[in-house]
Structure 1
């Protein structure tokens, strides 16, 4: 059983995403937005997403929300995008497209009687960073841009921002029961080690740290670059995991995804962190635990993906796409002391003294 106050998000993760046929999605785009065009499926964890090709050169993402998703959460995500568009219009984020009636979203009733919320966003062109050769310049561009996004969101508030989300590294302890579902004893011991470290060294410090609305899913699938200029970012996508949480959780989460695909995993993450810190400096208290939260993101990735893949085998490839790297990172970090891992991550901010 999950911790009781995680039930809302667990419901969204435990309820299958809508599965409308392409023809139905096209009909929705036409009826609600006056856009006639083909529909192509896009990946998603909780929602059904599709690309709508308007035929006039414009492309859009039609999102049909999970029936278990609270309307206040959808409204929060819409309001956050509109806030960033106002205060930082140069940031490459999707824009909210209004219906023919001028609304930011509509409720639709599916054939099974469930009610979903439909919204439309502009489609951003670019190549997922996951598909490119990683470079120092690209990592630094990612770090600086995330800091700019966080600055744009710093003063944004919304009632829906305080919703529950299992993908929140600050609440990793709520997944403790999922340790029992791990079949491999070695992996169970590894996960337990990092859960204990989180509960002992991180959780007591979090209430004293600054918090705000964060993207919470800033990884290599959700950042786009220009095909011919792969250090120039053209898009930040997938704002579906946003919430109000400690800011350092944003940085630890994002840095975690820079450990894979590099000869020295800490060197790559250190470049990302240094670029972020140059734009939006972290406090000493935040720097003390950012490495722990990087490990915590890998921990919750492993636990949530194992749990969900067993329940939704048809969506296994999407659910498990970060799972191998998460286990690999945890195994590597288990060989280091907290201090050594922290020193390596902060090497560009606090160069280590030579004896």
Structure 2
């Protein structure tokens, strides 16, 4: 993407935010991110992909500033203002690309993906803390509004029915049938769910690389980062997405059920769920898994040389089959049991 060195990133931060430090590039899917280390603390300098508009970045920053007031107990990134009180600045790179830059505080900790595989961690406590964090986040966003909140987002679950043409490209026949069944179920019920269940702006991407865990004391989730996929949808979609990613780190049926229940209980303790919402969670999990498979199938067709696209899908495909094979009525009763647990 943009041609910029760590040294140039340091100069830009010093010039516009009057913060002097050393820059180190961070991995990023579409943007250029640099960790700025200073004696006073660390920051993330972000140069957005040119495809991101000012409005796309503004909703992220607005949400973070809103959550700083409504959800102060989470260690979320803080939006840093320039001397002229700006939080997004235009920049044209040496290659002529017009994009925008921002500065956020750096959130200390490790990613969930690294902690979830450790044998010395209380995984049930960690999973419960994940549900608590997402519950706090959704509670903090419930009254957030922004002019861009109804924008198109690739990963909005509402786009799942539009991916049905990809099903024929899934080579495994049994998997095709499962995806067809759960995609059609979602397509048939989404409109009704939107009429009767709570809607709000949601994070929409609490994956195991965007969830930050602190290991000071007992390991627990203390932050969520990367608000780039925010959209307006069923509040419960955030919970379903969170469960999908957490389940990538558990395998046998008992561990899968216990993980889902731990996250549900944690979420419900902070953002109380109705019976109607809980009854929809399973279907949204299956819809998100189907969406992930179809999105990767499409990506692989466009880039067949990248075998990693399908390799990284092994866990998703395993999970879709595994959850479908579980006793559905019993699973729903277990989900509903969170309504009757009192700490």
Instruction: Output the TM-score relative to the length of structure 1.
Output: 0.83
Structural RMSD (CA):
2.7
Specify the SS of the correspondent of 1:108.
strand
Specify the SS of the correspondent of 1:244.
strand
Residue equivalent to 1:339: 329
Pick aligned residue for 1:43 from 4, 18, 27 = 27
Structure 1 residue 286: Cα displacement = 1.3
Residue equivalent to 2:16: 32
**1:266–1:345 CA contact under 8 A, matched in 2:** no
**2:71–2:140 CA contact under 8 A, matched in 1:** yes
Residue equivalent to 1:327: 317
Whole-angstrom CA distance in 1 between matches of 2:190 and 2:93 = 43
Specify the SS of the correspondent of 2:285.
helix
Residues 94 and 301 (structure 1), Cα distance of their counterparts in 2 relative to 1, 3 Å cut: same
Whole-angstrom CA distance in 2 between matches of 1:222 and 1:232 = 14
Residue equivalent to 1:104: 87
Residue equivalent to 2:243: 255
Instruction: Count the aligned residue pairs.
Output: 333
Specify the SS of the correspondent of 1:162.
coil
Mean alpha-carbon deviation: is it higher for 257-266 or for 177-186?
177-186
Pick aligned residue for 2:291 from 285, 300, 303 = 300
1:36-64 Cα deviation digits (max 9, x unpaired): 3333232333322221223x142111111
Mean alpha-carbon deviation: is it higher for 334-343 or for 286-295?
334-343
Specify the SS of the correspondent of 1:138.
helix
Residues 170 and 277 (structure 1), Cα distance of their counterparts in 2 relative to 1, 3 Å cut: farther
Residue equivalent to 1:77: 60
Alignment of 1:278-297 (within 5 A): 278-297=269-288
Unaligned runs of 5+ in 1: 1-16
**2:130–2:220 CA contact under 8 A, matched in 1:** no
**2:112–2:208 CA contact under 8 A, matched in 1:** yes
Pick aligned residue for 1:246 from 224, 234, 254 = 234
Whole-angstrom CA distance in 1 between matches of 2:2 and 2:298 = 20
Specify the SS of the correspondent of 1:221.
coil
Alignment of 1:123-138 (within 5 A): 123-132=106-115, 133=118, 135-138=123-126
Whole-angstrom CA distance in 2 between matches of 1:81 and 1:339 = 39
Structure 1 residue 312: Cα displacement = 6.5
Q: Does structure 1 residue 219 correspond to structure 2 residue 207? A: yes
Pick aligned residue for 2:46 from 44, 48, 63 = 63
Mean alpha-carbon deviation: is it higher for 36-45 or for 109-118?
36-45
Q: Does structure 1 residue 90 correspond to structure 2 residue 81? A: no
**1:267–1:344 CA contact under 8 A, matched in 2:** no
Instruction: Output the TM-score relative to the length of structure 2.
Output: 0.86
1:257-289 Cα deviation digits (max 9, x unpaired): 232333321221111102211222222221121
**2:268–2:338 CA contact under 8 A, matched in 1:** no
